[in-house]
Structure 1
Amino acid sequence: MSELTIRKATVSDVPGLETIEQECFETPWSEESLRHDIAENKLATYIVADLEGELIGYIGVWSIADEGHINNVAVLPKYRRMHVGTILLNTMINATEEAGIVSHTLEVRASNEAAQSLYGRFGFKESGRRKGYYEDNGEDAIIMWRMGDPDKITEES
Structure 2
Amino acid sequence: MNPFSGNPIEDSQNIRLRPMNPDDLDRVLNIEERSYADPWLREHFEYELTVSSISKMMVLEIHQKVMAYVGIWLLPPEIHITNIAVDPECRYQGLGSRLMEYVMDLAYELRIKQVTLEVRHNNLAALALYRKFGFEVKGMRKNYYASEKAHALIMSRTVR
Q: Same fold (TM over 0.5)?
A: yes
CA positional deviation for 1:115:
0.9
| Mean Cα deviation higher: 7-16 or 17-26 | 7-16
Amino acid aligned to 1:138: K
RMSD: 1.5
Rounded to whole Å, the distance in 1 between the matches of 2:117 and 2:150 is 15
Paired residue secondary structure (2:111): coil
Question: Which stretches of structure 1, 4 residues or longer, exceed 6 Å deviation after superposition?
Answer: none
CA positional deviation for 1:93:
1.7
CA positional deviation for 1:57:
0.6
| Mean Cα deviation higher: 67-76 or 96-105 | 96-105
Corresponding residue for residue 91 of structure 1: 102
Structure whose residues are more often strand by fraction? 2
1:33-112 pair list within 5 angstroms = 33-112=44-123
CA positional deviation for 1:97:
2.9
> What is the percent sequence identity of the aligned residues?
30
Paired residue secondary structure (1:42): coil
> Which of 4, 9, 13 is 2:20 aligned to?
9
Corresponding residue for residue 122 of structure 1: 133
Amino acid aligned to 2:60: A
Rounded to whole Å, the distance in 1 between the matches of 2:42 and 2:31 is 11
List alignment gaps of at least 5 residues for structure 1. Answer: 150-157
The TM-score with structure 1 as length reference comes to: 0.89
List alignment gaps of at least 5 residues for structure 2. Answer: 1-12
The TM-score with structure 2 as length reference comes to: 0.87
1:142-153 pair list within 5 angstroms = 142-149=153-160
Structure 2 contact 37–148 (Cα < 8 Å) conserved: no
